[in-house]
Structure 1
Amino acid sequence: MLFLDKLEHTNDLTENEQRIATYIKDNLASVSEMSIQNLAAETYTSHSAIVRFAQKMNYDGYRSMRHDIIKAAQQQLSQLNDVDANFPFSEADTAIDVAKNIADLTINTVKKALTQLDEKSLAEAANKIVRSKRLVLFAFGDTQIRARSFQNKLVKINRFAILAEEYGDDSWTSVSLNSDDLAIFISYGGDSKQYLKIIRFLNKQKVPTLLITGNPDSKLKTFATQTILIVQDEYNFFKVSTFASQITFEYLLDTLFSIVYSKAYKDNLINLQNNYDKLTQNNILTT
C-alpha cells in the first residue's frame, strides 16, 4: 500500500497523531527532507510521539516511514495537474507550488501540441526548409526570442536564417525574396496587419511561405503556402505571460530543426566534428 493510502486508512489516531498525519499530508515535499526532531517541532509533538505514529502506520520507526514519504513526494511531483495557461499560479501558492504548476503547464502544453501535429505536415515543412536557398523568419516580441533560438540552432548545420525585423527592415527584406526562398511567419495570434500585407505580397510573387500560428481564423492562412496550426488555451491579452504559446513555438521549432538535422544526420555529425577540430586547432574556443 502506498504511503498516502496508509495515511488515509489508518484508524484510531490520537489527537497528536492526527495532527502529525495532517501536517505530513499537507507538507509532503518538505517533510521528506525533515529530521524527526524538525517534524516533532513543526507538529508541536515529541520524538517519541513521531515514533509511535510511525509504528501505528506499520513502520519500524521514523526512518523507514520517511523512506516511503520521500517516494510519495516524488510521485506527487510527477503527477500532472490541469493548469490554467493564463494564470498558472496564485498569490497563495508556495514556491514549490509555482514550480510544480509551471512544470505541469509545460508538459501539458507540449503534449497538447503533439496531438495536433501530423507526419505529412512536419515532413512538408522540413523539406521546405531544406530546399530553400534563403530562410527568413518573421517574428516579433516574445516570439522573436524563439525565432532567434531556431536561428542559432540552424547555424550549427550551416543553415543561416535571417530575422526579417532585425533592423526594422521586414518590408525591404520581403521584396528581395523569390521562389527559391522560404519565409516563415511565427505568430500565435496570426492577426498582424503588417504580416498580412507582406504574406499577401509574397503569395503574388510565388514565394513559399510557412505560417505557424494558434489562430484557426487567421487571415494569414489564406495566403500561406502551408500552415501549421496549434491551438492552446491562451488568451490574447488577459494573462500573466505568454507561457503556452512560447512553449509551443519552442517545441515545434526544435522539432523542425531535429527533422532537418536527421535528413543529413551523418553529414551533420561529420561537419560538427570538423568544425570542432578547426576551433580547437586554431584556439578559437573560449574556456
Structure 2
Amino acid sequence: MSIKDRLRNTKGFSKGQKKIAEYILANFDKAPFLTATKLAAEADTSESTVVRFAIELGYDGFPDMQRDMKEVARQTLTSAERLIRISDTVDMDNVLMSVMKSDIMSIRETMNMIDVDVFNTVVDKLSAAKRIYILGIRSSYSVALYMSIYFRMIFDNVHLVGLPGAADVFEEIISVNNSDAFIGITFPRYSRRTVHAMEIAKNNGAYTVALTDSMDAPITEVAHNVLVARSGLTGFVDSLTAPFSVVNALIAACGIKKDKELLKKLQNLEQIWKEHSIYTMENKKK
C-alpha cells in the first residue's frame, strides 16, 4: 500500500492524526521536505503526534515515513518544483550537514537493500564477458564514465556508449551479442533511451545488468540482474553518492578477480605515467 493510500484510510485515526493526514495529502509537493517539528506546526498539532502517527502507519518512525514520501515526490515533482520546495523548507545554514546526512542514509539503505549474491554473480559475469558496454544518460553519464575509466584498466574491451560526438546510441550497440555484457545505469527520472538500448542488448543475447534505485524501476524488466543503489533526494537533483559507492565496490571486486592481469597493466601504466610526467609529485612549499 502506498503512502497516499495509507493516509486516505483515516479509520481509527485520532483528531490530530487526521489533521496530519489531511495536510500531507493537500500539500504533498511540500510535506516530504518538512521536519517533524515543521509538519506539526503546519498541521496545527504536536511533534509527538507526528511521530506517533508515523508509527501508527507502520513506519519505524518519522524519518522512515519521510523517506517514503520523498520517494513518491522524486517520481512526480519536476526539478523546478523540487528546487522551490527545498528552498522553502531547508535553512541555508544547514544545507551542508543536511545533504551529507542524507548521503550517509542513502549508503546505509543501499547496504541493507543490495543482494550480495547478485553482486557476486554480476562480478563473475562481467569478468567472463568478451566486451562490456556501459550506458548512462544525463546525470547517470557521470557514473557510467567513472565506471568505464577503471574498467578499462581491468578489462580489455570496454565501451562507454553515448560519448559526445559518437554515433547514435542504438548504432553503437548494433553488434552486441551473447558473449557480451551490457550495463544500464538510470535513476529518477528514468531514461527511456537507456531502457530501450538495454532491451536491444538483451534481445541480442547479451548479459544485462541494471544499476538503479529500485526493483520497481522500468529498466529492471530488461535486466538479468539488478544492483539497487539509493539516489537520495537532496535538492533539485538526486544525489548519486550511493551509486558511486556500488560502482567502487564493482571496480574493487573485478580488480581482485583479475588481479594478475591488472597488476601487469598497472605496472606498465606507472612506467608510462612516470616517463611522461603525468602526475606531479612535488609538495607545496611551506
Q: If the TM-score is normalised by the length of the shorter chain, which range does it land in?
A: 0.5 to 0.7
CA distance in 1, matches of 2:186, 2:152: 23
* 1:197 matched to 2:196: yes
1:186 to partner: Cα distance: 0.4
Cα distance, 1:112–1:91 mapped onto 2, change above 3 Å: closer
TM-score of the superposed pair, with normalisation by structure 2: 0.60
8 Å contact kept, 1:190–1:213: no
Q: Which runs of 5+ in 2 are unaligned?
A: 1-61, 71-81, 281-286
Equivalent positions of 1:59-138 (< 5 A) are 90=89, 92-94=91-93, 97-138=94-135
Note if 1:223 corresponds to 2:222. yes
Match of 2:140 among 140, 143, 158: 143
Structure 1 length as normaliser, TM-score? Answer: 0.60
Instruction: Specify the SS of the correspondent of 1:156.
Output: helix
Q: Distance in 1 between matches of 2:261 and 2:228?
A: 31
User: 1:286 Cα deviation (Å)?
Assistant: 4.5
Kindly provide the amino acid, as one letter, of the partner of residue 117 in structure 2: K
What is the number of residues matched between the two proteins? 199
| Equivalent residue letter for 2:95 | V
Please give the secondary structure, in 1, of the residue aligned with 2:215.
coil
Matched residue, 1:274: 268
Query: What residue number does 1:208 align with?
Result: 207
Residue of structure 2 in register with 1:187 after alignment: 186
The higher radius of gyration belongs to 1
Identity among equivalent pairs (%): 14
Partner of 2:173, secondary structure, is helix
Aligned equivalent of 2:153: 156
Give the whole-Å Cα distance in 1 for the aligned partners of 2:161 and 2:225. Answer: 19
CA deviation vs aligned residue, 1:225-269 (integer Å, no higher than 9, x gap): 21223455649xxx52211xx112211111111111121335534
CA distance in 2, matches of 1:249, 1:279: 29
AA at the equivalent of 1:122: F
Show the 5 A alignment for 1:256-267. 256-265=250-259, 267=261
Change (3 A) 1:158 1:220: closer
Q: Indicate if the aligned counterparts of 1:129 and 1:182 stay in contact, CA closer than 8 A.
A: yes
Q: Identify which of 238, 241, 244 aligns with 1:242.
A: 238
CA RMSD of aligned residues (A): 2.9
Supply the AA of the counterpart residue of 1:241. Answer: V
SS in 1 for 2:237: coil
The 8 Å contact of residues 139 and 187 in structure 1, kept in 2 or not, is answered as yes
Report the equivalent of 1:283.
276
Q: 1:278, 1:181 → 2: CA distance?
A: 30
List structure 1 segments (4+ residues) > 6 angstroms apart after TM superposition: 83-89
In the alignment, which residue of structure 1 is the partner of 2:26?
none
C-alpha change, 1:250 and 1:152, in structure 2 (3 Å) is same
Question: Aligned letter for 2:216?
Answer: D
Amino acid at match of 1:101: S
Q: Which residue of 1 aligns with 2:173?
A: 174
1: CA distance, partners of 2:258 / 2:90: 49
Distance 1:215 1:273, change over 3 A: same
| Residue deviations 1:94-120 (CA, integer Å, cap 9, x gap) | 1xx322222211211111111111221
Q: Give unmatched runs, 5+ long, in structure 1.
A: 1-80
| Counterpart contact for 1:199–1:209, Cα < 8 Å | yes
User: Does the aligned pair in 1 maintain the 2:212–2:228 contact within 8 Å?
Assistant: yes
The one-letter amino acid of 1:118's match is D
Does the 8 Å CA contact 2:231/2:238 hold for their aligned counterparts?
no
The separation in 2 between residues aligned to 1:249 and 1:259, in whole angstroms, is 15
